[in-house]
């Protein structure tokens, strides 16, 4: 008799967003076919030996091979980026197909498919970035793409080449409402940043550490409140991405208190880094941690932890934006140590996201295991229309699983699989790491080695968001 399953993961301590229970997991054709005690034999058997097994992570905010203005280039493409994702326990990524001002959104999507095709090691979907909402984009391209499975898009309130004004924001939010898409908002006030940056530059303050001074919390707070107000006018849910600290958190709590559907995302840099990581003097090393919004201080880290624990945050993403430090296409554009306004924004984190949150959040006693799963896998899958195929351990879901090894070690960049020459978290003591990652029923990471199969990762068209606002 042939085995009942292709693979059985035995003696798992299964964790979902709602429960933890002991079970064997039977897998057939890349999907979970059965959960139960003493399942029939599989062609292959893996003994979890009572270790925690979570759904594979869904990293709903990462940037891979996103076109940049030369000489700057992202270090990770779909090969190295999804390799790193898999080794860190993430089995679904959602990077961004970005429209250029003056360009077509459809062309951006076609170009991004070419960049991903045949390279991804884990499944992927695309968010759109809308930077030029022309009448054609609003009336035709965006609604058409939403209907085809690109059901979320990001808009920026800062960055000259991406930012929308308030009228344009209202226009795209109206499209999100009419066609049931999720709007993700980068909330920082562009004019205020420009004004502060010019003042700093006039005073000769151009070292990386002044990046933080050019984007204080008031800049994020004002834009967060404005985004909330614009969404209220249109009567549409929004998701504020990469929330960095108290001031934006207070705006989101205010909105929720007024019954508005405002979802929120935060990222590891706001839990583990502070503005001091941008430098205490005028040295250039701090360029490694230049990202926007910038990391704040210890007190704000605590505010973010509180929001993760109490339900304020919906989603925990990496905002992986990979640039090499010592490289002319990276943090030293053209080989130069440049003024902070010219440093490419972003830090790597696709591989370390889950282990950081599991170590300090779950094992540090700050959040429950169920909440860890909800923030890092279930909610992102729901927010972007991939649940229940992704984001849970249930019969019929894709067999994307992480078996956790709980052990203490000090992180260094040589352990990682991205193509970046540093991690901002080097030296951090971690208490767990994925001992195995299974994607679509295949072992992609066994705790020591990565098992590549070109083209394993498939493109996932997304459905409508199924996230529901938390009761007040
Ligand atoms: N900020 C962004 O908005 N995106 C990429 C990286 C960053 O720092
Ligand atoms: Zn952003
Ligand atoms: Zn980003």
Beta-strand ranges (E) seen in 278-335 are: 315-316
* pLDDT for position 454: 76
Instruction: Report yes or no: 64 and 78 within 8 Å, Cβ to Cβ.
Output: yes
Query: Per residue in 274-319, pLDDT tens?
Result: 999 999 999 999 999 999 999 999 999 999 999 999 999 999 999 9
User: Distance between CA 386 and CA 383 in Å, rounded?
Assistant: 8
Peptide bond into 71 cis (omega under 30): yes
Residues with CB under 6 A from ligand 1: 63, 186, 291-292, 319, 321, 345-346
How does residue 455 score in pLDDT terms, banded at 50, 70 and 90?
confident
Nearest CA to ligand 1 atom 3: 292
For residue 30, how many other CB atoms are within 10 A of its CB?
17
Q: Best mutation site among 289, 345, 348, 424 for ligand 1, i.e. most ligand atoms within 8 A of its Cβ?
A: 345
| Phi, psi torsion values for 164, nearest 5 degrees | -110, 150
CA distances from 228 to 82, 231, 256, 267, 415 (A): 33, 5, 10, 20, 41
Q: Which residues are placed with Cβ below 5 angstroms of ligand 3, an ion?
A: 319
Terminal alpha carbon distance of the chain: 55
Q: Where are the domains of the chain?
A: 57-383
* Ligand closest to the CA atom of residue 424: 1
User: Which atom of ligand 1 is closest in space to residue 291's alpha carbon?
Assistant: 8
User: From the CB of residue 342, how many other CB atoms can be counted at a distance below 10 Å?
Assistant: 12
Calculate mean pLDDT across residues 434-456: 96
How far apart are the C-alpha atoms of 378 and 164, rounded to whole Å?
A: 30
Whole-number Å distance, alpha carbon 299 to ligand 1 midpoint, is 22
Residue 472 pLDDT > 60? no
**pLDDT above 60: residue 99:** yes
**Separation of CA 319 and ligand 2 centre (Å):** 8
Whether residue 356 contacts residue 317, with contact meaning beta carbons closer than 8 Å, is answered with no
Query: Residue holding tokens 């459809």?
Result: 106
Q: Answer positive or negative: Cα dihedral of 258, 372, 296, 345.
A: negative
CA of 50 to the centre of ligand 1 (A): 39
pLDDT in the model for residue 159 = 93
Place of tokens 């562009």: 190
Ligand 3 centroid to Cα of residue 320, in Å, is: 7
Distance 321 CA to ligand 1 centre (A): 7
**CA-closest residue to ligand 1 atom 6:** 346
Q: Which three-class secondary structure state does DSSP give residue 31?
A: strand
d(CA 131, CA 146): 16
Give the pLDDT of residue 270.
99
- The 10s digit of each residue's pLDDT in 335-347 is 999 999 999 999 9
CATH 2.60.40.10 fits 57-383, yes or no: no
Judged by DSSP in three states, 227 sits in helix
What pLDDT does residue 101 have?
A: 95
Atom index in ligand 1 nearest the CA of residue 290 equals 8
Nearest ligand to the C-alpha atom of residue 344: 1
Q: What is the mean pLDDT of residues 216-220?
A: 98
Tell me which residue has its CA closest to atom 7 in ligand 1.
Answer: 346
d(CA 307, CA 298): 14
CB-based contacts of 27: which residues, under 8 Å, 6+ apart? 5, 6, 7, 8, 9, 33, 42, 399, 438, 441
Rounded distance, CA 276 to CA 297, Å?
Answer: 8
What the block records as the tokens of 439 is 């994607």
Contact predicate 76/418, CB 8 Å = yes
């Amino acid at each position: 008799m042939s085995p009942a399953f292709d693979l059985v993961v035995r003696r798992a301590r299964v964790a979902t967003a709602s429960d933890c229970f002991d079970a064997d997991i039977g897998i057939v054709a890349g999907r979970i076919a059965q959960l139960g005690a003493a399942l029939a034999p599989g062609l292959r058997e893996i003994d979890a030996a009572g270790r925690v097994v979570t759904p594979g992570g869904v990293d709903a905010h990462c940037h891979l091979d996103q076109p940049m203005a030369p000489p700057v280039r992202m270090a990770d493409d779909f090969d190295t980026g999804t390799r790193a994702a898999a080794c860190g326990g993430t089995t679904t990524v959602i990077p961004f197909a970005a429209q250029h001002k003056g360009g077509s959104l459809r062309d951006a999507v076609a170009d991004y498919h070419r960049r991903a095709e045949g390279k991804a090691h884990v499944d992927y979907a695309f968010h759109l970035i809308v930077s030029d909402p022309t009448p054609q984009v609003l009336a035709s391209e965006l609604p058409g793409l939403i209907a085809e499975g690109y059901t979320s898009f990001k808009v920026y309130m800062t960055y000259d080449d991406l930012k929308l004004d308030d009228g344009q924001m209202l226009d795209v939010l109206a499209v999100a409402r009419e066609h049931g898409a999720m709007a993700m908002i980068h909330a920082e006030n562009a004019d205020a940043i420009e004004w502060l940056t010019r003042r700093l530059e006039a005073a000769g303050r151009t070292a990386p550490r002044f990046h933080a001074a050019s984007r204080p919390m008031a800049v994020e707070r004002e834009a967060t409140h404005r985004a909330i107000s614009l969404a209220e006018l249109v009567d549409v849910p929004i998701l504020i991405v990469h929330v960095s600290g108290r001031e934006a958190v207070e705006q989101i709590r205010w909105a929720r208190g007024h019954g508005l559907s405002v979802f929120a995302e935060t990222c590891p840099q706001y839990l583990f880094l502070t503005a001091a990581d941008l430098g205490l003097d005028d040295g250039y090393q701090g360029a490694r941690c230049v990202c926007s919004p910038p990391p704040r201080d210890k007190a704000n880290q605590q505010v973010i932890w509180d929001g993760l624990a109490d339900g304020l945050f919906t989603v925990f993403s990496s905002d992986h934006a990979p640039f090499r430090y010592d490289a002319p296409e990276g943090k030293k554009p053209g080989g130069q140590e440049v003024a902070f306004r010219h440093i490419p924004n972003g830090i790597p984190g696709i591989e370390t996201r889950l282990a950081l949150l599991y170590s300090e959040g779950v094992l540090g006693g700050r959040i429950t295991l169920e909440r860890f799963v909800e923030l890092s896998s279930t909610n992102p899958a729901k927010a972007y229309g991939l649940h229940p195929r992704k984001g849970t351990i249930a019969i019929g879901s894709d067999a994307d699983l992480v078996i956790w090894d709980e052990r203490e070690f000090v992180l260094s960049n040589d352990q990682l699989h991205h193509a970046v020459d540093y991690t901002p978290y080097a030296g951090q003591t971690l208490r767990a790491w994925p001992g195995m990652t299974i994607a679509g029923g295949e072992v992609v990471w066994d705790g020591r080695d990565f098992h590549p199969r070109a083209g394993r990762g498939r493109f996932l068209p997304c459905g409508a968001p199924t996230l529901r606002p938390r009761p007040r």
